[in-house]
Amino acid sequence: MIDLADLHARLAPLFPGLMGVELTEAAPDRVVARMTVRPDLCTAGGILHGGAVMAFADTLGAVGTVLNLPPGGRTTTTDSSTKFIAGAPAGSVVVGECTAFHRGRSTMVWQTLVRLESGKLCAVVTQTQLVMVDR
């Protein structure tokens, strides 16, 4: 069983913790999280910055990959593609649902749908994670 409290503790001192990423579900094939859209994460127009959207989604794919790593394994993102659909205004909450497309020995591919809590789609992010094992 995956311990969300342990995952939060691991993320808290890192960039995802700074952004306020809150994991709500975590399994080897699916990760769900939420994040409050604070003004310091926004553009001058008061909507969630594209880089923050990408970092949010990247975090979820990385968490999913970590849950699948073999002993001694580590990961890094090698590719990420984002399609922006709608803005998320300051004060709203975004929810990311990340699902595995491919979980191989050397790469994993994840897709994250970033939505407002109302369900409105904001972005679709597809990323590839490299799996590295020290030998």
User: Please, what is the angle between helix 4-11 and helix 50-66, to 10°?
Assistant: 130
Tokens of 21: 């990423």
Which residues does the chain have with pLDDT short of 50? none
- Measured CA to CA, the distance from residue 99 to residue 61 in angstroms comes to 8
For 65-90, what is each residue's pLDDT tens digit? 999 999 999 999 999 999 999 999 99
Beta sheet of 73-84, edge-to-edge order? 22-27, 30-36, 93-103, 107-116, 121-133, 73-84
DSSP 105: S
Q: Identify any residues that bridge with 130 across adjacent strands, giving them in sequence order.
A: 76, 107
pLDDT at residue 134 in the model: 83
CB 115 within 8 A of CB 125: no
Of 85, 86, 89, 113, the closest CA to residue 38 belongs to 89
pTM of the predicted model as reported, rounded to 2 decimal places: 0.96
pLDDT at residue 2 in the model: 85
User: What is the secondary structure of 45-60 as a DSSP string?
Assistant: TSBB-HHHHHHHHHHH
